[in-house]
Amino acid sequence: MKLFLFFLLSTLLSACSSLSGGEESLGGTRFYSLSSLPPVTASNAKLRIGVGPVEIPRLLNRPQIISRKNSNEIKMAENHQWGGSYKEEIIQSLTDNLSVLLKTNSVEQYPWKFSFKPSYQVRINIERFDGEIGKNVTLKARWRLLKQNKEILVKQTLINTPVHGKSYGDYVKAQSQALQDFSKQIADKIKRLLSLI
């Protein structure tokens, strides 16, 4: 009887320890979201920014987080996925960041309602947005700035952001930072144009 109780107790302890090993040990999936700059008080009520259309490679527009093993091989993480649509995550992050950097609440995503007339519109084609876990994230994009539907600026951006750590959480943080840096480039161009008016 003692031997049976000892066996039962050790089995229960073993089960508890495997449960405490986290979601990974249970074969669970972790979900991630991109972060944005912390909000600030809007003071530029007259400035209206339209964000989009935003295009991303079809390879990236999937639930799994995509990274690279090397320059020719990609990894698709089944246990590490986006909480929502990756494309929508990117657009929301850019929208939030530009709102903060330009101090305006009037930032709308494409397609916006007919009554919204943006002072500036930024169209973005992201050509690459991936990297290696524990190394860096690369964001490569072409973007256009329009005023009253007239193209006034065409730019290409290449941002390399280090990944400080070897987890997927660290990788997503680096992607968020790359989007913040990209947003700053766009906001700086708009601020420069505003200073010329």
Higher pLDDT, 41 or 20: 41
Give the C-alpha separation, 160 to 20, whole Å: 36
User: The domain containing residue 152 runs over which residues?
Assistant: 33-196
pLDDT at 59: 92
Same domain for 164 and 125: yes
Give the C-alpha separation, 64 to 77, whole Å: 5
Give the C-alpha separation, 102 to 89, whole Å: 20
Same domain for 44 and 14: no
- How far CA 120 is from CA of 142, 146, 169, 194, in Å, comes to 16, 6, 34, 10
Q: Where are the alpha helices (DSSP H) in the chain?
A: 2-19, 86-101, 168-196
Question: Is pLDDT of 107 > 90?
Answer: yes
Residue 170 banded pLDDT, cuts 50, 70, 90 = very high
Question: Is pLDDT of 4 > 50?
Answer: no
| Single-letter code of the amino acid located at 71 | S
Domain count, the chain: 2
Same domain for 4 and 91: no
Quickly count: other Cβ atoms within 10 Å of residue 30's Cβ.
Answer: 16
| Single-letter code of the amino acid located at 108 | E
CATH code: domain of residue 127: 3.40.50.10610
Same domain for 97 and 155: yes
Residue 42 banded pLDDT, cuts 50, 70, 90 = confident
* 72-91 pLDDT tens trace: 899 999 999 999 999 999 99
